[in-house]
Structure 1
Amino acid sequence: MTMLQERLDDGELLLWEPQLPGDSCGRVLFLTKEINDEFDPDVWTDPNVALRYANLEADFDRYVSGWTVPVGLEPYSKGDNAFMARIDPIEYGMWAIRSVAPKPALRVFGAFYQRDVFVALLTRCRKDLGGPGSREWANAREAAIAKWDCLFPSRKRLFGDELNVYFSEKALTV
């Protein structure tokens, strides 16, 4: 049994199922229980949160349903349209899904377990992260690393310099 299957069986991870059908795609997204719980409308205190999380659902669907994903391999020189981007320092193997609309924008911190398999570990509002290289970014990155290490104690995060290390298809560098 793989570590992923063990985490699914014990409820620490959940498999994201697309809300709408899309093209066939081999990408898989796992969420921590904490992220999944954020989709529970009973915990929302602001009615605008429903729209925010509906858009995050659409973003998650975009990843698993076969849409072409714009990817920023360089943390500080990526296109504004990057859907996913590596986080500095890149050798840590941490990434963020950039859910930008509507405001407030969200960042979903995570890492690749293997090619086409992303594990979403935690979310943060972009406005709470400060600027590039800020202590807030570092704290979020380190919290995500700690979460990974708890879930997968002996497993390294996927790391490489080329897009095809992470994606088998339908991804482009921006």
Structure 2
Amino acid sequence: MAISRKGLTLMSIVGHIRTCLDHGRLYQYEPAIPVEAHLRIILLTPEMREEIDAELLDREAEHRTGAFLADLDHFIAGGEITIGDRRDKHAFLKRLEPEGEQVWELRSVDPEPSVRAFGTFADTDILVLTPMRLRTELGGFNSRAFKDEIRRTRQIWHGIFAPYSPLTSEKVTDYVNENVNDLRNTQ
């Protein structure tokens, strides 16, 4: 069965993802605690997977990394997701500016220091995470470090997915299909 997005068949990007998984260019994140159903998918680049593994081995970072992985598990299991813009301090996901770049940040805020994982949606409920950084390393919202991570995320996307484009929509439910709260609508 082919799923279409704006008149294009998705079999090609799904097939591309399968090929990347088969060849180690992407890894599907599996929850630390098995869940009945995976309602959403998180794909990791090899670098992101190595970052997570290294952080888990670091005794000082293992608790913070465990909380980050619990947030990934929450996303995969279909937990409620809040989406906001730069003013929404409690959003789980934010699309970063410029919005046309389609780079998102997944925000793991508890405990301090908070972690930001940058990524792009390949399709509805399929989030590809590239780098992650401690929020304290990024400076202000429009800092050079933030812009560098957005640029890096786009470069990684193109390196893995060219000629495919990331999912682009104004509807939040095109990114996260269900159990989503759009904080942008309440302002």
Task: Flag whether TM exceeds 0.5 (same fold).
Answer: yes
Q: Which has the higher helix share?
A: 2
CA 1:128 to 1:166, structure 2 compared with 1: closer, same or farther past 3 Å? Answer: same
For structure 2, the 5+ residue unaligned runs are 1-11
- CA displacement at 1:21 relative to structure 2: 3.7
**Where in structure 2 are the equivalents of 1:101-140 lying within 5 Å?**
101-140=110-149
- CA displacement at 1:48 relative to structure 2: 2.1
CA–CA separation in structure 1 for the residues paired with 2:168 and 2:141: 21
CA 1:43 to 1:18, structure 2 compared with 1: closer, same or farther past 3 Å? Answer: closer
Q: Deviation string for 1:133-158 (max 9, x for gaps)? A: 11111001000100000000101111
Among candidates 150, 160, 164, match of residue 159 of structure 2:
150
CA–CA separation in structure 2 for the residues paired with 1:169 and 1:90: 22
Aligned pairs, number? 170
Partner of residue 17, structure 1 = 30
CA 1:48 to 1:171, structure 2 compared with 1: closer, same or farther past 3 Å? Answer: same
Among candidates 16, 29, 35, match of residue 3 of structure 1:
16
CA RMSD in angstroms, aligned pairs only: 1.7
Partner of residue 179, structure 2 = 170
CA–CA separation in structure 1 for the residues paired with 2:56 and 2:177: 37
Among candidates 31, 41, 44, match of residue 28 of structure 1:
41
Q: TM-score, normalised by structure 2?
A: 0.84
Aligned-partner SS, 2:170: coil
- CA displacement at 1:20 relative to structure 2: 2.1
Q: After the TM superposition, which of the residue ranges 88-97 and 99-108 deviates more from structure 2?
A: 99-108
Identical counterparts, % of pairs: 28
Q: TM-score, normalised by structure 1?
A: 0.90
Q: Is the 8 A contact 2:80 2:181 kept in 1?
A: yes
Among candidates 82, 85, 101, match of residue 92 of structure 1:
101
CA–CA separation in structure 2 for the residues paired with 1:30 and 1:65: 14
Q: Deviation string for 1:93-120 (max 9, x for gaps)? A: 1101001122221110000000111000
CA 1:30 to 1:42, structure 2 compared with 1: closer, same or farther past 3 Å? Answer: closer
Partner of residue 61, structure 2 = 49
Q: Is the 8 A contact 2:81 2:179 kept in 1?
A: yes
CA–CA separation in structure 1 for the residues paired with 2:75 and 2:115: 15
